[in-house]
Chain A
């Protein structure tokens, strides 16, 4: 559920088909820069109603999903 929502947000951000976003996809593969990550993090905050900071250790979509799942329980 969290993965699907985040994959949708990322697909929207990078203008790709959501089916191309896999958990193991790296942010580098997607051509995402640090401001894109900040934008996605801010969208995550409003979508899931949590405080969320992205950091440099998050290199794949799965990393972001895991961090969000930890917050939403």
Chain B
């Protein structure tokens, strides 16, 4: 048993922060940010919680799929910025949308959507679930050091969701890699206030080695896509659309020619959203879906990379 995506949704906060706005917060400029990462603006939450964004995206995806929340067998949420350590964000979303199925989170940062799809595929293949809601939601703005100009300009807040339905047809396969370590990307969790714990407090915000991240990202795209082609027998010409993780436009610009997949097949919207972690790919997918840019039967290649370090590439049939 395989699956198809039968509905998509997304949500971003109303508050749009431009590069000129960022230049009032840290020493930077529209020119520098545009050249360095290809971002013009991002949405930053004023009152939206991670749950608010995730649930709003879920409602839209369920409506698009014509699926009642009661029909869901499983909710998988990919997040690194849940409002609560417990319950999981998936549990909070299950409550908000009034679903009754099992629900859990996975943590794979920017590759979270593809890790979630692969996990859902396992449940569906074993006959444990027929309808699955996958939600990616991150309020990256709460993880950032807003005095660090090298990172705070890159990210945005938002969420996206898809509804999966078990089907005999369709195609799905993926490759997933983990290169564990926190020297390239690190986001500390709470240290707590135990009177017994004596270690130095961690700097409580996102750290990223930009050059090492860039290199990992580009190498992952090239390696994972080639591995996936070998695994599936597909070639670059079989792919109709590529939706890459929107981390930095220059990663896409540098990696794309090395994959051999024509530039016009790559969908890029980073200039309007920044890097929204795991939600980046499904936000782009939803945008394409709502604009009518996808047709049934299209072979879509997703490729993602990020904290973990984690990377994944997936081919689905629309």
Contacts and interface: CB of A to CB of B under 8 A. Distances in A.
Contacts of B250: 35, 39
B214 interface: yes
B210 interface: yes
Chain A CB count within 10 A is highest, among B214, B219, B248, for B214
A42 interface: yes
A25 interface: no
A71 B250 CA distance: 27
B309 to A, nearest CB: 16
* Interface size class of chain B, counting residues whose CB lies under 8 Å from the partner chain: 10 to 19
A15 B215 CA distance: 22
B218 interface: yes
Contacts of B36: 33, 35
A16 to B, nearest CB: 17
Contacts of B211: 34-35, 37-38, 54
If over half of A's interface residues share one DSSP class (helix, strand or loop), that class is named, otherwise mixed; here it is: helix
B234 interface: no
Nearest to A43: B254
A42 B218 contact: yes
A42 B210 contact: no
A42 B216 CA distance: 11
Contacts, number: 23
Interface in A22-70: 33-35, 37-39, 41-42, 54
* Interface size class of chain A, counting residues whose CB lies under 8 Å from the partner chain: under 10
Contacts of B215: 38, 41-42
A9 B219 CA distance: 19
Interface in B203-226: 210-211, 214-215, 218-219
A35 B215 CA distance: 9
Nearest to B258: A46
Nearest to B37: A35
A41 B10 CA distance: 38
Contacts of B218: 42
Nearest to A36: B250
Chain A CB count within 10 A is highest, among B36, B210, B215, for B215
Interface in B103-145: none
B245 to A, nearest CB: 17
Which A-B residue pairs are the 10 nearest by beta carbons? A38-B211, A38-B214, A39-B254, A34-B211, A35-B250, A35-B214, A38-B215, A42-B215, A42-B218, A34-B210
Given A35-B36, A42-B254, 4 more contacts: A35-B210, A35-B214, A35-B248, A37-B211
Interface of B: 35-36, 210-211, 214-215, 218-219, 248, 250, 254
Interface of A: 33-35, 37-39, 41-42, 54
